Amino acid sequence: MKIYYSRTHANHQPPFEILDGGERSHSFEVPDRVENILSLLRQKSWAEIIEPIQLGLDPILAVHDEGYLEFLQTAFQLWTAGENNYEHVALIPATFPLGRMRRIPRSILGKAGYYMMDLSAPIGAETYPAALQSAYCSLSGAEALLSRDRSSVALCRPPGHHAGKANCGGYCYLNNSWIAANWLSRQKKVAILDIDYHAGNGTQEIFYERDDVLTLSIHADPAEEYPYFSGYSDEIGNGRGEGYHLNIPVPFGTSDVGYVEALRQAITRIVSFNPGFLVVSVGMDIYKDDPLGKFKITRNGIHQIGSEIAKLRLPTLIVLEGGYDLESIGENFLAFIENFFDQP
């Protein structure tokens, strides 16, 4: 099984984030998330760890706004070049637009408020290079499927599913799964199944009016959990995309049995859609001990979730999203992906 990984991710080290209620905290999205997975993969004979292919900006500009991409590339440099007394470690906004207030200011701080959804995706000097290589990991995994591999893995850091067409948020800057799925959709229909604890609001936004990509997300109820404003069960797509998006919110405390029931509902919809490719946005924050999650999924449950998805026997790209319990993330991720490497 090809595992796409870039050492560039380790240079992106957000020094802090702002939690709900305004508390300044250390960032939960740290390099050890991927390194702990990688240390276990290196012990497996079936894991072929590969640097991603550099495929240029066209596949990314096919899905993300050009002005937003330019912002990500230049934001930190422009901010640090300004005449101010800030501690230049990470850029986050202080002002956000409301309603129809959607002009793009010249000020870099104004642009930050325009392009950043929240306070949990600070931009540092190495954020854009890391996000770009993360996207290339998912694109490389997609290329492996196009070359007839049955499955591949993208160890994406930073993650991507909260990033919209023109915004970052929730640790995410470029929507890795969306970029890969759009690349694959040039040949066949694609289903994206998001099993991160949090709703994949960015992925939902991006494909909401398309019928060639089916998007499904199983997540904590957004009425009670981040991202709050997206991920509700009555959001089913729009225009051509009506009926091609499925949100399955599940309550806090959901255990293995309840989660697998929700998963089987999603799998039934995937089967009826009959895609040529499957992209799975995998968040290990569904695990019972994750500091940012409130589910009760065990490691055995994670293995069963992977087994249920693998039974679809579709060419599958597995994209890493969340998961913040550093002690468990490696074993949990392997418990999921080991269902796929021996597909016939």
Which residues are known to be catalytic? 162
Query: Rounded CA gap, 293 and 253, in Å?
Result: 9
Of 230, 7, 222, 244, the residue nearest 126 (C-alpha)? 7
Whole-number Å distance between alpha carbons of 160 and 138? 10
DSSP calls for 323-339:
---TTTHHHHHHHHHTT
CA pair distance 275, 270, nearest whole angstrom? 7
Q: What are the φ and ψ backbone dihedral angles of 49, each rounded to 5 degrees?
A: -90, 125
CA 265 and chain centroid, separation: 22
Hey, is 145 helix, strand or coil?
Answer: helix
Pairing relationship of beta strands 17-18 and 24-25 according to DSSP bridges: antiparallel
Number of residues written out for the chain: 344
- Where are the alpha helices (H) located in the chain, listed in sequence order? 32-41, 58-61, 66-81, 108-115, 127-146, 176-184, 201-207, 256-273, 299-310, 329-337
Distance CA 226, CA 220 (A): 8
How many other C-beta atoms can be found within 10 angstroms of the C-beta atom of residue 165?
13
The partner residues of 213 in beta bridges, in order of sequence, read: 190
Q: What value, to the nearest 5°, has the Cα angle with vertex 202 and ends 199 and 206?
A: 130
**In degrees to the nearest 10, what's the CA dihedral of 111, 226, 285, 170?**
0
- Which structure tokens are listed for 186? 């040039």
